[in-house]
């Protein structure tokens, strides 16, 4: 359990290698919207990283997964201070850290590396962000396309159910029935995420919480990995952002992979080949992995 601020506690599940902790690097894994430390991609990446010698810490955003019992507060894409708290905690236990974030978790990782660069623990050596929405407004718009209505429904069911649980737990903080007016993720963010997160509306929330503008501020080796066929993160919204001139940030666009899919031949559990690419980069910086054979459906 990691304390962030009064009434905010984060659940982090750690799997330690045998022997002295300082002898091994640690990998912090952060899930995406509607996910948790038990998400398939988090487990696959964690298992592969552990097999290759990492301690593994799977972090839950506030109120996510089993962490909901510790904290009833809402999370959002701009809460990079929560991730910083986890990294400071981990840096107090091991001298070398890497971070991988998936989807919304990738946005938090990139914000922490860019916007919070001066506060990032020196122990953090490398970062990776997979299927990250670098422009939150454009990704919210992509979800509103007719072809993405199933994804929209998936996220809305998760968001509304989560809000109702939090409202029942903290009725003095969250207004009952507010979620009934939301039909899309953008409307949910306008009605709930933004006002309860300290933003004027969804537009301000998206503008202030998008990680794209902060890529040029990153000063540690970072992999930004997306798929050209991601239905929720348009590839143009990934490519438009300039990278640092020093070349320390690497951007890779796989031809297929969907949104956190990346199914193909790999040593990673669940045929999740992105895990092999990420762990290779975090280990050596230049490892490659097989390209996917077929993209999979949504796995956040």
State yes or no: pLDDT of 138 exceeds 90: yes
Structural domain includes residue 289: no
Distance CA 15, CA 169 (A): 30
Task: Report the CATH number that the domain containing residue 278 is assigned in CATH.
Answer: 3.40.50.1820
State yes or no: pLDDT of 291 exceeds 60: no
Distance CA 226, CA 273 (A): 13
Looking at residue 288, what is its pLDDT? 44
Structural domain includes residue 182: yes
Secondary structure E strands in the chain? 2-5, 8-10, 12-15, 26-30, 55-59, 97-102, 124-130, 222-227, 249-254
**Do residues 149 and 127 share a domain?**
no
**Do residues 123 and 66 share a domain?**
yes
Structural domain includes residue 185: yes
Two structure tokens written together for 289: 């992995």
Structural domain includes residue 292: no
For the chain, how many structural domains are there in total?
2
Structural domain includes residue 300: no
**Do residues 86 and 185 share a domain?**
no
Where a domain ends, among 160, 179, 205? 205
Domain with 192, as residue range(s), is 139-205
Structural domain includes residue 298: no
**Do residues 158 and 38 share a domain?**
no
Residues 12 and 57 sit within 8 Å (Cβ to Cβ): yes
Give CA 231 to chain center in angstroms.
17
**Do residues 16 and 144 share a domain?**
no
**Do residues 34 and 129 share a domain?**
yes
Residues 51 and 281 sit within 8 Å (Cβ to Cβ): no
Residue bearing tokens 């301000």:
204
Read off the pLDDT of residues 52-95 as tens digits, 9 standing for 90 and up.
Answer: 999 999 999 999 999 999 988 999 999 999 999 999 999 999 99
To the question of pTM greater than 0.85 for the whole model, the response is: yes
Residue bearing tokens 């050209």:
228
Distance CA 126, CA 248 (A): 10
**Do residues 156 and 255 share a domain?**
no
Where a domain ends, among 151, 184, 205? 205
Looking at residue 287, what is its pLDDT? 46
| Mean predicted confidence (pLDDT) in 236-246 | 95
Q: Indicate the pLDDT class of residue 8, thresholds 50, 70 and 90.
A: confident
Q: Indicate the pLDDT class of residue 181, thresholds 50, 70 and 90.
A: very high
State yes or no: pLDDT of 284 exceeds 90: no
Name 124's bridge partners. 97
Residue bearing tokens 């091994």:
24
**Do residues 258 and 176 share a domain?**
no
Structural domain includes residue 10: yes
**Do residues 22 and 145 share a domain?**
no
Residues 215 and 241 sit within 8 Å (Cβ to Cβ): yes
**Do residues 18 and 128 share a domain?**
yes
Looking at residue 4, what is its pLDDT? 63
Residues 143 and 119 sit within 8 Å (Cβ to Cβ): no
**Do residues 189 and 220 share a domain?**
no
State yes or no: pLDDT of 152 exceeds 90: yes
**Do residues 14 and 146 share a domain?**
no
Where a domain ends, among 185, 205, 225? 205
Distance CA 57, CA 61 (A): 13
Altogether, the residues listed in the chain come to a count of 300
Looking at residue 7, what is its pLDDT? 77
Structural domain includes residue 247: yes
State yes or no: pLDDT of 300 exceeds 50: no
């Amino acid at each position: 359990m990691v304390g962030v601020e009064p009434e905010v506690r984060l659940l982090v599940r750690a799997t330690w290698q045998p022997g002295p902790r300082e002898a091994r690097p640690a990998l912090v894994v952060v899930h995406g919207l509607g996910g948790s430390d038990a998400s398939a991609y988090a487990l696959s990446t964690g298992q592969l990283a552990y097999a290759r010698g990492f301690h593994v810490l799977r972090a839950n955003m506030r109120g996510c997964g089993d962490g909901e019992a510790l904290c009833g507060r809402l999370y959002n894409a701009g809460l990079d201070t929560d991730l910083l708290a986890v990294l400071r905690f981990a840096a107090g236990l091991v001298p070398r850290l890497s971070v991988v974030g998936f989807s919304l978790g990738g946005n938090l990782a990139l914000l922490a590396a860019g916007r919070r660069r001066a506060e990032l623990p020196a122990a953090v050596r490398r970062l990776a962000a997979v299927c990250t929405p670098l422009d939150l407004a454009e990704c919210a718009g992509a979800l509103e396309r007719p072809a993405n209505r199933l994804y929209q429904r998936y996220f809305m069911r998760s968001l509304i159910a989560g809000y109702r649980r939090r409202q029942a737990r903290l009725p003095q903080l969250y207004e009952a029935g507010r979620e009934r007016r939301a039909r899309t993720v953008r409307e949910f963010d306008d009605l709930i995420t933004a006002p309860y997160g300290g933003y004027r509306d969804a537009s301000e929330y998206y503008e202030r919480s998008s990680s794209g503008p902060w890529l040029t501020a990153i000063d540690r080796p970072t992999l930004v990995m997306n798929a050209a066929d991601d239905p929720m993160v348009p590839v143009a919204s990934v490519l438009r952002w300039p990278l640092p001139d020093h070349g320390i940030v690497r951007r890779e666009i796989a031809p297929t992979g969907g949104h956190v899919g990346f199914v193909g031949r790999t040593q990673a559990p669940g045929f999740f080949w992105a895990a092999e690419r990420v762990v290779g980069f975090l280990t050596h910086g230049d490892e490659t992995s097989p390209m996917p054979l077929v993209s999979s459906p949504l796995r956040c």
